Amino acid sequence: MVKFIHAADIHLDSPLRGLERYEGVPSLARSATRDALERLVELALDEQVSFVLLAGDLYDGDWRDYSTGLYFRRQMNRLREAGIRVFWIRGNHDAASQIALRLTLPEHVRELSCAEPETVILDELGVALHGQGYAQRAVTDNLARTFPPPIPGMVNIGLLHTALEGREGHEPYAPCTAEELVNKGYDYWALGHVHAREVVHQEPWIIYPGVLQGRHIRETGPKGCTLVTLEHGRVTRVEHRDLDVLRWCSCPIDCSPAADLDGLLELVRSSVRQEMEAAQGRCLGLRFELSGQTPLDRDLRRNPGRLEAEIRAAVQEELGDGGWVEKIKLRTSSPQRQLAQEFLPAGFLQQFFSTLDQDPELLAAVQDCFQEMKAKVPGELFAEYPELDLEDPQAFQALLHEARSLAELVLSPEEGTEDED
Ligand SMILES: [Mn+2]
């Protein structure tokens, strides 16, 4: 029996996004990509694998200094002591052209050529490895096409960083089709580049293990590597292993059952408890998306700062130092908002207000309307609101301004902070 690990897209020392803006981010979050790599090394030692494959984007980009390379080397040395070899290729992030600093790697860590497909034969294991890395960041050629035919009598493994036919959110590098890979006659394709786990094909196996550690809120859920077992010259077992130390969670909260703010916070708390259980003690980066029709809608939108602070406080109570709130998105609605949206054509109020700015006659007409309305209202009401002095042009402008922002607030389909990436 021979075991090996297939990992990809480690993006070592990649800064995690969404950490900087808030207090209460655990320090662990800053070393997550390194910690996940350590867990990979531990898995390799525990499972006594024969070799480890890294299918590109080991590094996130050019190193700030040599510490990234030295750190990687130190981890690899732990594998050498156990006789575990490592084979890796460069991807778009760590293409030969992208990384200026170089550090000689020990002999048991072997990089496959960026110039052409290279084959390494591991005679004692009955394994033939074929792979090619990226010389340049943007590889638009079909690299798989020039990979050699399989070596008969061996388990043939292809190592390639590719988007295949194209995957959403990923540059279409080294394009090829799954069919082409199947037809190549190899037993296993160890792919990299796509950050979500995917078993593209079984027997022959074509696999994306996904990123080793999620780096932002779009990389949610368990992350890790693939552990492969070979017996009698064929692949007999393929398992995903979770190695992430920090888990990103997107938590939808339907606010409609909540009668008040406390009720809403209880919904948030129970969602946090669920995620904690699923993540088995890992650190959590949480995003809440509040939706549903609720009478709270108006208060939430008028005072999003308070809402955010209350949610952060509730989460802190549940999680302690075990996580933080990455972002809160407000997508709630109210019966009033729905009514307004149904009855007022999109952009109508906006257009009205901007015309008002430029058209003194329209402005005068509106002012007359208000005067008429004012005449019908008992005078003592106005004594309480001196700012409703409609004859004063400045006061009138201020009122219009307020009306405009209120209208925008009520009509906006969604409020709150938006993604900037
Ligand atoms: Mn990539």
For the stretch 257-283, pLDDT in tens is: 998 999 999 999 999 999 999 999 899
Section 329-355 average pLDDT: 78
Task: Say how many Å lie between the CA of residue 56 and the centre of ligand 1.
Answer: 7
Residues around ion ligand 1, judged by CB within 5 A, are 57, 91-92, 193
Task: Say how many Å lie between the CA of residue 327 and the centre of ligand 1.
Answer: 26
Task: Say how many Å lie between the CA of residue 194 and the centre of ligand 1.
Answer: 7
Beta strand residue intervals within 198-338, DSSP E: 198-201, 205-208, 224-231, 234-242, 246-254, 283-293, 323-333
Task: Say how many Å lie between the CA of residue 202 and the centre of ligand 1.
Answer: 23
Is 87 or 167 the better-scoring residue by pLDDT? 87
Task: Say how many Å lie between the CA of residue 293 and the centre of ligand 1.
Answer: 41
Task: Say how many Å lie between the CA of residue 5 and the centre of ligand 1.
Answer: 19
Contact indicator for 390, 320 with CB cutoff of 8 Å:
no
pTM, 2 dp: 0.81
HSE-up of residue 374 (Cα within 13 Å, Cβ side): 14
The two three-digit tokens of residue 7, written as one number: 């990992």
Is 11 or 385 the better-scoring residue by pLDDT? 11
Q: Please tell me the least confidently modeled range out of 109-113, 128-132, 332-336.
A: 332-336
Task: Say how many Å lie between the CA of residue 9 and the centre of ligand 1.
Answer: 7
- Whether the per-residue pLDDT at 417 is higher than 50: the answer is no
Provide the pLDDT for residue 419.
39
Is 168 or 262 the better-scoring residue by pLDDT? 262
Burial class (CB in 10 A: 0-12, 13-18, 19+), 28: middle
Domain boundaries, the chain: 2-242, 246-340, 345-411
- Whether the per-residue pLDDT at 408 is higher than 80: the answer is no
Compute the Cα dihedral for 54, 57, 60, 64 and give only its sign: positive
Task: Say how many Å lie between the CA of residue 141 and the centre of ligand 1.
Answer: 15
Task: Say how many Å lie between the CA of residue 91 and the centre of ligand 1.
Answer: 5
CATH number of the domain at 2-242, out of 3.10.20.30, 2.40.50.100, 3.60.21.10, 3.40.50.720? 3.60.21.10
Task: Say how many Å lie between the CA of residue 62 and the centre of ligand 1.
Answer: 14
Task: Say how many Å lie between the CA of residue 136 and the centre of ligand 1.
Answer: 12
Contact indicator for 161, 56 with CB cutoff of 8 Å:
yes
Task: Say how many Å lie between the CA of residue 192 and the centre of ligand 1.
Answer: 7
The two three-digit tokens of residue 323, written as one number: 């996580």
Mean pLDDT of the chain: 89
Task: Say how many Å lie between the CA of residue 96 and the centre of ligand 1.
Answer: 13
Provide the pLDDT for residue 21.
62
Task: Say how many Å lie between the CA of residue 95 and the centre of ligand 1.
Answer: 10
Provide the pLDDT for residue 277.
95
Contact indicator for 211, 219 with CB cutoff of 8 Å:
yes
Model confidence over 298-325: pLDDT tens digits?
Answer: 888 888 889 999 999 999 999 988 999 9
